[in-house]
Amino acid sequence: MLIDMQRDFLEPQGYLAGLGYDLGGVRGAIGPAQQLLAAARAAGLCIIHTRQGYRPDLAEVPAHKLARIQAGQSAIGKPGPLGRFLIRGEPGFQIISELAPVPGEFVVDKTANSAFWGTDLAAILTARGIRALILAGVTTDVCVHCTLREANDRGFECLLAGDACGSGDAEAHRAALHMVTVEDGVFGVLADVDAIVTALDRMDRPIATPTAAEIPQDAVREESSYLGDWSI
């Protein structure tokens, strides 16, 4: 899953820059995310992109958030160089060209920080029998972490690609990565992209099938969904 790699979060004319954040922390995730995406495609994984954005009339925005927008305390819906900030259909809402989806990949549009809330993400994962997720994107401390936490609560095994994530706040990014590791990995596993790519390469290798003579007579053969050792 690549979370919210959109122009509004990653380009100098977008929403995040308009709030005064340094984009170095989010743009640094682009290269590793490209490497991860290429490896996931080569391995034949199901790929899901998410986009954060609201209806042009802001009808789904809760009253307290709408009040902040109307008071000028939130930039959501305000005009900018890439159109209205975080509004569906505007140029800034689109995923950056470096990570653009290709036919066959899913795009899940959301209005909450978690990609599960109010979307069909859970149904997509269930329909494909997916039980484990590799997550990357922006921002580490908000939408990535909210999605990771809910995925964990829903029973998914989660792997966070730390260097393919980014935030406008360096300390928040560091803390968000650290929180994955507490309590012996309460939210999942943390790894860098190089390690994940190496594991995906191992998973892609043909698995040797033992001959009948090599199988113990008392062995119980069961159907397995094992795809190979891709542990980090």
Q: Please give the sequence-ordered ranges of beta strands (E in DSSP) within 6-154, or none if there are none.
A: 48-52, 106-110, 132-138
Residue 133 and residue 158 in contact, taking contact as beta carbons nearer than 8 Å? yes
Measuring CA to CA, which residue among 137, 194, 146, 139 is closest to residue 171?
139
Query: Which 8-state DSSP code applies to residue 67?
Result: H
- Residue 109 annotated in active site: no
Residue 152: what residue type? N
- Active-site hit among 141, 143, 146, 165: 143
CA 207 to chain centre: 29
Catalytic residue from among 8, 110, 146, 158: 110
Where are the strands (E) in the chain, listed by range? 2-3, 48-52, 106-110, 132-138, 157-166, 189-191
Q: What's the distance, Cα to Cα, between the start and end of the chain in Å? A: 18
Q: Tell me if residue 165 is catalytic.
A: no
158: annotated active-site residue: no
Which residues are part of the catalytic machinery?
Answer: 4, 110, 143
